[in-house]
């Protein structure tokens, strides 16, 4: 099976925050960001697998900074690890200062997608070969996140989550 790198399927989406996408105190509504991340991640998963892909899990989202009305928001989505039919997609969310143009990290999210055929049955995806130190770090941690997600979903016994257990034992 083909091997791909994160940059082969990297997706960068930049868009504004409009009034209808804000909460009562004028900052971006969390659900709007979740939907934008889902779209960016979906494109990345599709580019990596060249198949139909569906979201199977939102593993982690951190809303660290408020995103004010009118902000320019950039979502950078990359495959952090591919398993058999599933792919973990890691997203960094950036906002840019209006005057200086300097970007700062606002939030991040980690979703899992599964490649499926026309009947919705999972199909294999290409392996991922991480290249940079950050990609390698996220690749290693993705196995623990997969185990945590499967345990929480009741699809794996906690005792079988060996890499996850090491984290708690160390």
Ligand X SMILES: CC(C)(COP(=O)(O)OP(=O)(O)OC[C@H]1O[C@@H](n2cnc3c(N)ncnc32)[C@H](O)[C@@H]1OP(=O)(O)O)[C@@H](O)C(=O)NCCC(=O)NCCS
CA distance 138 to 136: 6
Beta bridge partners of 63: 107
CA distance 70 to 22: 10
Smaller CB separation from ligand X, 90 or 94: 90
Residue of 86, 89, 90, 130 interacting with ligand X (CB under 6 A) = 86
Interface with ligand X, residue 143, by CB under 6 A = no
Smaller CB separation from ligand X, 127 or 131: 127
Interface with ligand X, residue 83, by CB under 6 A = yes
Residue of 56, 58, 61, 143 interacting with ligand X (CB under 6 A) = 56
Interface with ligand X, residue 42, by CB under 6 A = no
CB of 75 within 8 A of CB of 152? no
Smaller CB separation from ligand X, 67 or 89: 89
Tokens of 38: 């889902």
CB of 72 within 8 A of CB of 10? no
Which among 8-16, 23-31, 97-105, 147-155 is the span making contact with ligand X, rule CB under 6 A?
147-155
Residues 57-76 that bind ligand X (CB under 6 A): 57
CA distance 126 to 81: 10
Which helix H or strand E contains 160, and what residues bound it?
A: none
Which helix H or strand E contains 51, and what residues bound it?
A: none
Interface with ligand X, residue 84, by CB under 6 A = yes
CA distance 45 to 41: 6
Residue of 12, 34, 39, 55 interacting with ligand X (CB under 6 A) = 55
Residues that bind ligand X (CB under 6 A): 54-57, 83-86, 112, 114, 116, 120, 122, 146, 149-150, 153, 155
């Amino acid at each position: 099976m083909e091997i791909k790198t994160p940059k082969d399927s990297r997706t960068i989406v930049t868009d504004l925050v409009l009034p209808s996408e804000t909460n009562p105190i004028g900052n971006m509504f969390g659900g709007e960001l979740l939907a934008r991340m889902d779209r960016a991640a979906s494109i990345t998963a599709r580019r990596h697998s060249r198949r139909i892909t569906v979201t199977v899990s939102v593993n982690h989202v951190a809303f660290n900074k408020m995103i004010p009305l009118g902000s320019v928001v950039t979502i950078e989505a990359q495959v952090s690890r591919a398993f058999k039919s599933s792919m973990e997609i890691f997203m960094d969310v950036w906002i840019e200062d209006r005057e200086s143009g300097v970007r700062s990290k606002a939030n991040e999210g980690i979703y899992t997608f599964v490649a499926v055929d026309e009947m919705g049955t999972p199909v294999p995806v290409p392996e991922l070969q991480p290249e940079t130190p950050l990609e390698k770090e996220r690749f290693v941690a993705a196995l623990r996140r997969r185990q945590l997600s499967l345990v929480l979903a009741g699809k794996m016994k906690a005792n079988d989550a060996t890499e996850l257990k090491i984290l708690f034992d160390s």
